[in-house]
Copies of this chain bind each other. A is one copy, B any other.
Amino acid sequence: MENPRFQPVRSYLVDLQNRVCGELERLDGRESFHSDRWERLGGGGGDTRGIAGEGVFEKGGVNFSHVLGDVLPPAATDSRHQLAGRPFLAMGVSTVVHPRSPYVPTAHMNVRFFTTDDDADEAAWWFGGGFDLTPYYPFEEDVVHWHRIARDALQPLGIDLYPRFKEWCDRYFFLPHRDEARGVGGIFFDDFSEGGFDHAFAVMRAVGDAFLPAYAPIVELRGKHPFGERERAFQLERRGRYVEFNLLHDRGTRFGLQSGGRTESILMSLPPLASWPNSPSPDPGSPEASLLREFLPVRDWLSGTQPKR
- Nearest-neighbor residue (CB-CB) of A254 within chain B: B248
> From residue A202, how far is it (CB to closest CB) to chain B in Å?
34
> From residue A46, how far is it (CB to closest CB) to chain B in Å?
16
- Report B-chain residues with C-beta under 8 Å of the C-beta of A263: 177-178
- Report B-chain residues with C-beta under 8 Å of the C-beta of A3: none
- Nearest-neighbor residue (CB-CB) of A249 within chain B: B247
- Report B-chain residues with C-beta under 8 Å of the C-beta of A268: 278
- Nearest-neighbor residue (CB-CB) of A236 within chain B: B273
- In the complex, whether A21 has a CB less than 8 A from a CB of chain B is no
- In the complex, whether A152 has a CB less than 8 A from a CB of chain B is no
Contact B267 A272 (CB under 8 A): no
Measured CA separation A67–B194 after assembly (Å): 47
Contact B276 A267 (CB under 8 A): yes
**Number of residues in A with C-beta < 8 Å to the partner?**
28
Interface residues of A in 265-309 (CB under 8 A from B): 266-268, 270-279
Measured CA separation A271–B270 after assembly (Å): 15
- In the complex, whether A1 has a CB less than 8 A from a CB of chain B is no
- In the complex, whether A59 has a CB less than 8 A from a CB of chain B is yes
> From residue A243, how far is it (CB to closest CB) to chain B in Å?
6
- Nearest-neighbor residue (CB-CB) of A61 within chain B: B278
Q: A50-B278, A52-B277, A243-B243 are in contact. Are A177 and B270 (CB under 8 A)?
A: no
- In the complex, whether A244 has a CB less than 8 A from a CB of chain B is yes
- In the complex, whether A44 has a CB less than 8 A from a CB of chain B is no
Interface residues of A in 157-188 (CB under 8 A from B): 177-178
Measured CA separation A280–B177 after assembly (Å): 31
Measured CA separation A277–B34 after assembly (Å): 14
| Residue among A178, A263, A271, A277 with most chain B CB within 10 A | A263
- In the complex, whether A71 has a CB less than 8 A from a CB of chain B is no
Q: Which residues of A contact B (CB under 8 A)?
A: 34, 50-52, 59, 177-178, 236, 240, 243-244, 247-248, 257, 263, 266-268, 270-279
Q: List 11 A-B contacts (CB under 8 A).
A: A34-B279, A50-B278, A52-B279, A59-B278, A177-B257, A177-B267, A243-B247, A248-B248, A268-B278, A270-B276, A273-B273
